[in-house]
């Protein structure tokens, strides 16, 4: 299996341990890759790379990493090519639960509404790329609260402990933007996250 933008390889290690499969992960962040290499993980290889290795793979994971393959929905065509016939893709992707306001998009980092689709658009884009949806689940309000506020807390904690690091200001700004986004009308009901299991025919 392949993990696109694997970070430290947590998902790869869990799947490899449960299913006794061989996993390959790649990411641009050398520090995360090195951290993952220090952890025990039978059958898992991690590489610093900008592009995926040659397939085909039986399973490709792309969890909040479609930007590494050109962004949504272009990443779906790349994932189709990375798995062989009958192969599967586990996609984790954001989607609009409601149309985002201009203020929300600005607080999201000057994002564009076209960068994501609604939930139905996720399924349609997958099928348009030749991938059949087999299963899906979406993040709950509780999941999103935990994610958003953990992001804020981690940014603030790191910045407070590294006051002389230039990255501290960037992380404080990220935390402030997240708080601003959540405080907007509908801020907690605009963005969603879905996991989709897809199969290449």
Question: 23 lies in a domain?
Answer: yes
The string of pLDDT tens digits covering residues 52-74 is: 999 899 999 999 999 999 999 99
The domain in which residue 22 lies consists of 2-97+111-139+189-200
Q: What is the mean pLDDT of residues 149-177?
A: 94
The pLDDT tens digits of the residues spanning 87-136 come to: 999 999 999 999 999 999 998 988 899 999 999 999 999 999 999 999 99
Q: How many other CB atoms sit within 10 Å of the CB of residue 151?
A: 14
43 is a domain residue: yes
156 located within any domain: no
Residue 8: its H or E element = none
pLDDT at 110: 87
- Backbone phi, psi, residue 4, to 5°: -80, 125
Domain harbouring 26, CATH code: 3.40.50.150
Report the domain count for the chain: 1
Looking at the domain assignment, is residue 145 inside a domain?
no
d(CA 64, CA 193): 9
Report if residue 36 sits inside a domain: yes
What's the CA gap between 50 and 63, in Å, rounded?
16
Contact indicator for 132, 198 with CB cutoff of 8 Å = yes
Residue 93 in any domain: the answer is yes
Cα-only R_g, the chain: 18
Dist CA 61 CA 11 (whole Å): 9
Q: What is the pLDDT of residue 42?
A: 81
What DSSP string runs through 73-131?
THHHHHHHHHEEEEEEEEEEEEEESSPPPHHHHHHTTS--GGG--BHHHHHHHHHHTTE
CA distance 82 to 87: 9
- Which residues, other chains included, contact 150 with Cβ-Cβ below 8 Å and sequence gap of 6+? none
Q: Report yes or no on 155 lying in a domain.
A: no
Express each pLDDT in 5-45 by its tens digit: 999 999 999 998 898 889 999 999 999 999 999 988 888 99
Residue 54 lies in a domain: yes
């Amino acid at each position: 299996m392949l993990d696109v933008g694997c970070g430290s390889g947590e998902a790869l290690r869990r799947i490899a341990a449960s299913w006794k499969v061989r996993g390959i992960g790649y990411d641009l962040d050398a520090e995360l890759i090195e951290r993952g290499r220090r952890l025990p993980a039978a059958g898992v290889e991690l590489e610093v790379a900008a592009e995926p290795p040659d397939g085909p793979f039986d399973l490709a994971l792309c969890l909040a990493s479609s930007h590494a393959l050109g962004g949504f929905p272009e990443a779906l065509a790349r994932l189709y090519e990375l798995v062989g016939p009958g192969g599967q893709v586990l996609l984790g992707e954001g989607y609009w639960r409601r149309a985002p306001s201009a203020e929300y998009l600005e607080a999201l980092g000057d994002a564009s509404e076209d960068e994501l689709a609604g939930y139905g658009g996720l399924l349609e884009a997958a099928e348009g790329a030749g991938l059949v949806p087999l299963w899906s689940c979406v993040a709950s309000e509780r999941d999103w609260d935990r994610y958003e506020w953990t992001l804020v807390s981690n940014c603030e904690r790191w910045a407070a402990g590294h006051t002389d690091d230039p990255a501290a200001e960037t992380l404080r700004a990220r935390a402030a933007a997240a708080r601003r986004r959540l405080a907007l009308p509908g801020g907690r009901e605009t963005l969603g996250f879905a996991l989709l299991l897809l199969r290449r025919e």
